[in-house]
Amino acid sequence: MKKLISAAASIAAAATPLPALAGPTKPTIVLVHGAFETAEVWGYVVAKLEKDGYKVKNIALPGRPGNERAVTEISLDLYQRTVASAIADETGPVVLVGHSFGGFTISAEAEAEPQKIKTLVYVAAYIPRNGDSLLSLATADSGSKLGPVLDIDKEHGLASVKPGAGGGVFASDGPQQVQDAVSGAVVAEPLAPLATPVTLTADRFGKVDKVAIRTLRDQVISTGYQATMIKATPVRLSLTIDTGHVPFLTQPDALAAEIEKAAG
């Protein structure tokens, strides 16, 4: 029997192998967090996407723990250049996923380097048009409950969430322990990028594929206002997830599945 197995192995080794059938190349998924957050919010989603065979890059924007920078140096342009630097070595398709204010960051990057981007995915995110700023969009959202829990420190150029108030607004669909964790994890946000109008053109940003994942119980960007933005900037695919503003914490596996649908 051993001789038979050995002979079969020798024949197999000598035979000309058939060419492997290459499957479709999965895109690199690049995750961009929003305001009052750090890259750590994506941790559970990163694990699920990597388990499913995706290469994932989780970007820590400057001006917060994990990527400290003086507030006076922080700008929307710096956020865009941070994303550009992270994907500079990518030669295959790239899917940019932005949460909340991250919608501005990924839109700015698509305007700068449309040829690098396969798809923009907006998760509970602002979808800006040319000349919009976060401030202009946020003040137009009458359904948002974020305003009353914000503190604006113009002297130091920072916006922050009132202590203990963030969890109930950001993670409104989560259990109390998740809400408490969110309240303790929110960070101060540099003001300058929030007030900066973004420049977007039809020939660059306008030609990049777009998908929206709308959060149906969102109290930060109301689901109705998310629908309004989707109507103003049509997307290829509009998906929904029955969560509040931070689905990466309350339903990470479900969010990962929707991101994979968007990525194609």
Is 108 part of a structural domain of the chain? yes
Is 152 part of a structural domain of the chain? yes
Is 186 part of a structural domain of the chain? yes
| Neighbouring C-beta atoms of residue 58, cutoff 10 Å | 20
pLDDT in tens, 213-232: 999 999 999 999 999 999 99
76-86 vs 102-112: helix crossing angle, rounded to 10: 70
Is 12 part of a structural domain of the chain? no
Question: DSSP letters along 55-72, please?
Answer: -EEEE--SSBTTB---GG
- How many domains in the chain? 1
pLDDT of residue 25: 85
Percent of the chain scoring above 70 in pLDDT: 91
Q: Which domain holds residue 61?
A: 26-263
Evaluate if residue 126 carries a pLDDT over 50: yes
pLDDT of residue 20: 40
Is 181 part of a structural domain of the chain? yes
Please give the model's pTM, rounded to 2 decimal places. Answer: 0.90
Is 212 part of a structural domain of the chain? yes
How do strand 150-153 and strand 158-161 relate by DSSP bridges? antiparallel
- Based on the number of CB atoms within 10 Å of its own CB, is 246 exposed (0-12), middle (13-18) or buried (19 or more)? buried
pLDDT in tens, 65-110: 878 899 999 999 999 999 999 999 999 999 999 999 999 999 999 9
Question: Phi-psi region for residue 124, left (φ > 0), alpha (ψ -120 to 50) or beta?
Answer: left
Residue 2 pLDDT class (50, 70, 90 cuts)? very low
pLDDT in tens, 150-198: 999 999 999 999 999 999 999 999 999 999 999 999 999 999 999 999 9
56-60-64 Cα angle (round to 5): 160
pLDDT in tens, 238-256: 999 999 999 999 999 999 9
Evaluate if residue 8 carries a pLDDT over 60: no
> Which CATH number characterizes residue 52's domain?
3.40.50.1820
pLDDT of residue 228: 97
Evaluate if residue 142 carries a pLDDT over 70: yes
pLDDT of residue 24: 67
| Closest to 97 (Cα-Cα) out of 149, 54, 159 | 54
pLDDT of residue 67: 87
Evaluate if residue 1 carries a pLDDT over 60: no
CB under 8 Å to 188, separation ≥6 — which residues?
Answer: 36, 64, 158, 159, 160
Is 51 part of a structural domain of the chain? yes
Evaluate if residue 13 carries a pLDDT over 80: no
Evaluate if residue 22 carries a pLDDT over 80: no
Evaluate if residue 11 carries a pLDDT over 70: no
Is 10 part of a structural domain of the chain? no
Evaluate if residue 19 carries a pLDDT over 80: no
Q: Are 209 and 106 in contact (CB under 8 A)?
A: no
